[in-house]
Amino acid sequence: MAANSSNGDHQTSTKPPPLPSPLRFSKFFQSNMRILVTGGAGFIGSHLVDRLMENEKNEVIVADNYFTGSKDNLKKWIGHPRFELIRHDVTEPLLIEVDQIYHLACPASPIFYKYNPVKTIKTNVIGTLNMLGLAKRVGARILLTSTSEVYGDPLVHPQPESYWGNVNPIGVRSCYDEGKRVAETLMFDYHRQHGIEIRIARIFNTYGPRMNIDDGRVVSNFIAQALRNLSVCLTLTNEHVGDLLDHGEPLTVQSPGTQTRSFCYVSDLVDGLIRLMGGENTGPINLGNPGEFTMVELAETVKELINPAVEIKMVENTPDDPRQRKPDITKAKELLGWEPKVKLRDGLPLMEEDFRLRLGVGKKKN
């Protein structure tokens, strides 16, 4: 059955979805769900894979080009009989047989998506077209991980899904935010024209273990900076504490520091994605934690929790940085029964633990 849209009837497909593989109707069909996760070697993707693999009826296939992701994030599943890893770039067609597609492949950190903007927009447009083509051929349901960046520098606060956004179409962030907007358009056009079962999540800033240490996003930057600074502190004797100013890394707050973001812990986010895929609503649905912080507040929280000696330094910002962002999650609550559970103050220490291990900074003394 075609999914109901909460955006009005005109968004709902009049076409029946393409038929899934005859195997799904076979009474001998054993392996219940074959699930493709594009971008599954990345931060969110690898946590999603962990959750999907917990269900013994799922077979999980990851397709990733390892631009920002790594096999390391999936090492516990490599060799598992229900898991398969394919080095694949989604800008090329993929011919496999699956029942569901979680389409995550796309660099998400601004420094990485701006590194090769033409490739980023190709990934969003051609990559999404290819995955929709696959969904159409095999009758699979497809979920796109869109982003709060589709709201641009929002003039409505907090942002409900009905807000159309304030995006610069020719700016340095456009490859990503306009790319995701086109990806959403393609999803709805395939839904209306071909009856494809679609799901769209608009994800707000998400953080947690396994983010790249040098990812460049604010939470991973602050935690890595606080810990690197701490490791310098530990190697200095008292007389050399003054050297800290030369050696210690400060927390780099990009000016003005009053810009806000809302940070969602990755386990909450993954729970929302799985509910969205399993439910009857196309979305778009905001998934994020409504707790809103300025970047100065975030830096102060990291300093207090991880390293009270670290300095906070104001540095230059990049163009078109959104000034405020906070999700309105009414729809997620009503339609998915979802809301985040992990508060920022509880999530940061979980991420700190993972970063300490990877940076080789000793365990915290209680």
Catalytically active residues are 176
Q: How many Cβ atoms sit within 10 Å of the Cβ of residue 51?
A: 15
Total residue length of the chain? 366
Select the span of 147-155, 160-168, 189-197, 271-279 touching ligand UDX (CB under 6 A): 147-155
Find which of ligand NAD, ligand UDX, none residue 66 binds, CB within 5 to 8 Å per kind.
Answer: ligand NAD
Residues 6+ apart with CB under 8 A from 108: 42, 43, 44, 68, 147, 217
Residue 206 touches ligand NAD, criterion: CB under 6 A: yes
Q: Which x/- pattern over 219-248 shows residues binding ligand UDX (rule: CB under 6 A)?
A: --x---------------------------
In the range 190-219, which residues lie near ligand UDX by CB under 6 A? 205, 217-218
Find which of ligand NAD, ligand UDX, none residue 295 binds, CB within 5 to 8 Å per kind.
Answer: ligand UDX
Nearer to ligand UDX, 24 or 122 (CB): 122
Find which of ligand UDX, ligand NAD, none residue 94 binds, CB within 5 to 8 Å per kind.
Answer: none
Residue by residue, DSSP assigns 108-132 as -SHHHHTTSHHHHHHHHHHHHHHHH
Helix (H) or strand (E) holding 315: strand 312-315
Residue 195 touches ligand NAD, criterion: CB under 6 A: no
Find which of ligand UDX, ligand NAD, none residue 17 binds, CB within 5 to 8 Å per kind.
Answer: none
Nearer to ligand NAD, 108 or 310 (CB): 108
In the range 133-192, which residues lie near ligand NAD by CB under 6 A? 145, 147
SS3 assignment, position 90? coil
Q: Find the angle CA(18)-CA(41)-CA(293) to the nearest 5 degrees.
A: 100
Find which of ligand UDX, ligand NAD, none residue 221 binds, CB within 5 to 8 Å per kind.
Answer: ligand UDX
Among 46, 68, 100, 259, binds ligand UDX (CB under 6 A): 259
Residue 39 touches ligand UDX, criterion: CB under 6 A: no
For 299-332, letters b (16+ CB in 10 Å) and e give beebbebbbeebebeeeeeeeeebebbbbbbebb
Among 4, 231, 294, 317, binds ligand UDX (CB under 6 A): 317
CB of 304 to ligand UDX, least distance (A): 17
SS3 assignment, position 87? strand
Find which of ligand NAD, ligand UDX, none residue 107 binds, CB within 5 to 8 Å per kind.
Answer: ligand NAD
Residue 108 touches ligand NAD, criterion: CB under 6 A: yes
CA-closest candidate to residue 207, choices 217, 199, 198: 217
Among 42, 110, 209, 283, binds ligand UDX (CB under 6 A): 110
- 318/297 Cα distance (integer angstroms): 19
CB of 349 to ligand NAD, least distance (A): 19
SS3 assignment, position 39? coil
Residue 91 touches ligand NAD, criterion: CB under 6 A: yes
Residue 295 touches ligand UDX, criterion: CB under 6 A: yes
Give, as one character, the DSSP assignment of residue 28.
T
Are the beta carbons of 302 and 223 closer than 8 angstroms?
Answer: yes
The residue count for binding ligand NAD (CB under 6 A) is 28
> Rounded to the nearest 10 degrees, how much is the dihedral formed by the CA atoms of 1, 82, 104, 276?
40
Helical ranges in 88-210 per DSSP H:
110-113, 117-138, 174-194
CA-closest candidate to residue 149, choices 282, 327, 318: 327
Interaction site with ligand NAD (CB under 6 A)? 38-39, 41-45, 64-69, 89-91, 104-108, 123, 127, 145, 147, 203, 205-206
